[in-house]
Structure 1
Amino acid sequence: MLTTDIDQDGIALVTIDMPGRSMNVIDWPLADALRAEIARLAGDPAVTGIVFASGKSSFIAGADLAIMADFVGPGTSPKTAADMIGRLSEGFRALETCGKPVVAAASGTALGGGLELMLACHYRIAARNDKAVFGLPEVKLGLLPGGGGTQRLPRLTGVAYALPLLLEGKGVSAEEALKAGFLDEVVEPDDLVAAARRALKEGRVPSIARWDQKGFALPGPAANSTAVGDTFLVANAQAHARGRGNYPALKAILSCVYEGIRLPTDKALKIERHYFGHLVHGDVAQAMIRTLFFARQRLAKTGRGKADPGGAYAAALRAAFVREAQRLVGGGLSPAFVQNAALVAGFAAGPFETVEAAPARGTDRATLRPTGERLLRAVALAAVAALDAGLVGDADEADVHAIDVAGYPAWTGGPLTLIDRIGAAAMVLDATGEGQDVPERLAALARSGGSFHSPGEAAA
């Protein structure tokens, strides 16, 4: 998976090319191989510099999420998960502190751990490629970057630029990355490796990261400045408005960056690992990973990934949503309160098209939560009934399509994943207490102690 060639100038070209895969992804064997190769090259006095390149059209497309099962298996804890991600983070830190100048030469897309590897290099070059995307999308699965991304990105770009990328998980083009400061060059594809070698031979690549140099300061305002404090205040307000408190990763990323930029790099990286360990062990991250990655992947392989927004399943779920909202209004709640409860629960839109959310009382999350839970439960019950009626083929389809076309909150992992998390028996008890109809399939699961998804299904 790694091939190293050392030229007459002592420059080691390390090519990453995972056999049997269309794209490189970071798994434990690759992480260990990278660390071993860095140690070997660092100890070779003939090596004057190192270039990391890819044998594929992209650089590294992120982590192999199959390793997620390792973080939460039997006997694990947030602490053991933090130690485990440290295996990757410490490897990147060893690269950064190896004493040789290191260049990343990206032929194409670098996401997640792939971009984190690039950020740990002392100089970063990308080939001009309209399809290439650079970003840290972990938040979309309820996580944060655990290989140093929350610490190195703001140290390269400044806090104001880094926070939106981390909090939204969006990718940017090579040209934007260059402008932002986390790429140093963009070159023609056939000049990529040559450009990396030139940068080394011309002495443009330091052998120490800028944040390890004496006197380093963040780009832009200082970490303890009023301007940076204001940036965090605005980002926190925006994250709360968007996530409604349902996505722990948003708060964790903000805390991680806020604390980390005030610390030396090694201490900052420990902070990041701590937050990662707690997130990966949380219900939200596990639900999102199960549905938004693994279930979506399984559906795509069978040609069932695309949902029909105007189809019978979406219509059934939306009808159940509106029907329950109307029941709540009939029970004495104001339409505005119900509307706000739906939004706070994380639905993509409220049940009433012409009703504004309630201002004062409606902003109290604790007050709104029971109503939001009733709406979540009503749609989940409708999803079970739709599965029974054959409107969707299986539980994967029910979850993914509910999120994609019916606006069900992504933090739940979908309606059937939410039922599994709560437990079928508890769901039946709550539904019965509220006078909601319970499909026989759910009642049977409650009696048997079964679930819609098997425990090991996510890693399949």
Structure 2
Amino acid sequence: MREPMENLNPADTQATEPVSAFSLIFTTEHVGIITIDVPGEKVNTLKAEFAQQISAILHKAQQYPGLKGLVLISGKTDSFIAGADITMISGCQTAVQASELAQKGQTVMAQIASFSVPVVAAIHGACLGGGLELALACHARVCSLDEKTQLGLPEVQLGLLPGSGGTQRLPRLIGAPKALDMMLTGRSIRAKQALKMGLVDDAVPYSILLQTALERVAKGRKSRPPLPWQARLAGGPVGKSLLFHFVRKQIWAKTHGNYPATTKIIDVVKTGLDQGSGNGYQAEAKAFGELVMTSESAALRGLFFASTALKKEKGG
């Protein structure tokens, strides 16, 4: 049984130089541990420059002889990845720029998903937005049972949708009904519920989180396969038609068409299920770009910045 990362004996690992927010070590069992730790920040948030950094760290790992797999873990005390850097999104001047930003995120996640050996996310604390999208791109997910651990896609609360593949991967993992509920409400899921719904493959005490992830890789344990298409579509074509009809009707009753993000989420998920994930990713990036430019999203992001500033003033 291998000890958690903080207790690993340095003599049992071979280290490489850290690449900005990402550092890589290897255990004697030939498993790479990628630690995500954004310098100078309390929590990890995804930034545009990380696309190149993640590609570089994956390439470095690939060069290691006999590599059995990778574990992604946070270097922060109480969070995995809290989401994307909102200032990066607000910096986009056009829908095309915002769509390109989403496409970069999709490309990085695709690199993780297509990695030649298993990649396991070891999640403790907030795993939200782009953080959950990164975890979804991994081949398996293990989370801590700590009350601070929450998983969710809250982009709708900023008038946006998940732009790095979340609208396509989540329905294929837990089914369209549950995925739509998570994305349309933006609600977070606790560890036990995440395990029950299949969002994670294991939930363990924090003290053995890394150990569990390492053992999953070392033993070659695979994640459960994606849901069969009948389950993804809520019982086949008829079930799918009823599902989307009901969801649209429910959302219209709540928003009266004044909240474009909800409609875009429904449309993009349906596109992916009807036309395949390739078309779904294209629709996701396009819709993300369009939503970033809406007045609704601009207003909600403004509220987010104001709320964040107020918390800092109050020391919250």
Which TM-score applies when normalising by structure 1? 0.61
Counterpart CA distance in 2 for 1:189 and 1:122 is 20
What does 1:259-298 correspond to in 2, within 5 Å?
259-291=271-303, 293-298=304-309
Who wins on radius of gyration, i.e. which is larger? 1
Seen in structure 2, the aligned counterparts of structure 1 residues 265 and 220 have a Cα distance that, compared at 3 Å, is: closer
Partner secondary structure for residue 79 of structure 2: coil
2:248 to 236, 261, 279: 236
Matched, 1:195 2:212: yes
Matched, 1:302 2:306: no
Amino acid at match of 2:295: D
- Asked if the contact 1:151/1:268 (under 8 Å) is kept, the reply is yes
Amino acid at match of 1:132: T
Counterpart CA distance in 2 for 1:229 and 1:249 is 21
What does 1:82-101 correspond to in 2, within 5 Å?
82-101=99-118
Partner secondary structure for residue 5 of structure 1: strand
- Asked if the contact 2:36/2:72 (under 8 Å) is kept, the reply is yes
Q: Give RMSD over aligned pairs.
A: 2.0
What does 1:406-417 correspond to in 2, within 5 Å?
none
Counterpart CA distance in 1 for 2:68 and 2:84 is 29
Amino acid at match of 1:24: N
Partner secondary structure for residue 13 of structure 1: strand
Matched, 1:19 2:39: yes
Counterpart CA distance in 2 for 1:103 and 1:297 is 31
Any gaps of 5 or more consecutive residues in structure 1? 306-460
Per-residue deviation at 1:38? 1.6
Amino acid at match of 1:299: L
Partner secondary structure for residue 71 of structure 1: coil
Per-residue deviation at 1:266? 3.0
Partner secondary structure for residue 53 of structure 1: strand
2:140 to 116, 123, 135: 123
Per-residue deviation at 1:60? 0.5
Greater length-normalized contact order (CA 8 Å, ≥ 6 residues apart):
2
Seen in structure 2, the aligned counterparts of structure 1 residues 43 and 86 have a Cα distance that, compared at 3 Å, is: farther
2:192 to 154, 163, 175: 175
What does 1:28-47 correspond to in 2, within 5 Å?
28-47=48-67
What does 1:27-426 correspond to in 2, within 5 Å?
27-56=47-76, 57-72=78-93, 77-205=94-222, 210=225, 217=229, 219=231, 221=233, 225-291=237-303, 293-303=304-314
Residues 97-155 of structure 1: per-residue CA shift (max 9 Å, x gap): 12121000012220000011000000000011112211000000100000111111110
Amino acid at match of 1:134: L
Counterpart CA distance in 2 for 1:66 and 1:16 is 20
Residues 168-204 of structure 1: per-residue CA shift (max 9 Å, x gap): 1010101111111110000111111111111112221
Counterpart CA distance in 1 for 2:230 and 2:199 is 13
Per-residue deviation at 1:45? 4.1
Partner secondary structure for residue 229 of structure 2: coil
Counterpart CA distance in 1 for 2:149 and 2:161 is 22
Partner secondary structure for residue 307 of structure 2: helix
Per-residue deviation at 1:70? 2.7
Aligned residues: 295
Residues 72-109 of structure 1: per-residue CA shift (max 9 Å, x gap): 2xxxx322321122111110111101212100001222
Counterpart CA distance in 1 for 2:294 and 2:95 is 9
Residues 26-74 of structure 1: per-residue CA shift (max 9 Å, x gap): 11233331222123323444322010001112101111111023322xx
Per-residue deviation at 1:223? 7.6
Amino acid at match of 1:40: K
Partner of 1:6: 26
Any gaps of 5 or more consecutive residues in structure 2? 1-20
Counterpart CA distance in 1 for 2:66 and 2:290 is 43
Partner of 1:353: none
Question: Which structure has the highest strand share of the two?
Answer: 2
Counterpart CA distance in 2 for 1:102 and 1:196 is 9
Per-residue deviation at 1:242? 1.0
Counterpart CA distance in 2 for 1:109 and 1:288 is 21
Seen in structure 2, the aligned counterparts of structure 1 residues 262 and 238 have a Cα distance that, compared at 3 Å, is: same
- Asked if the contact 1:102/1:205 (under 8 Å) is kept, the reply is no
Partner secondary structure for residue 99 of structure 1: coil
- Asked if the contact 1:39/1:98 (under 8 Å) is kept, the reply is no
Counterpart CA distance in 2 for 1:142 and 1:10 is 43
Counterpart CA distance in 2 for 1:267 and 1:115 is 21
- Asked if the contact 1:158/1:218 (under 8 Å) is kept, the reply is no
Partner secondary structure for residue 261 of structure 1: helix
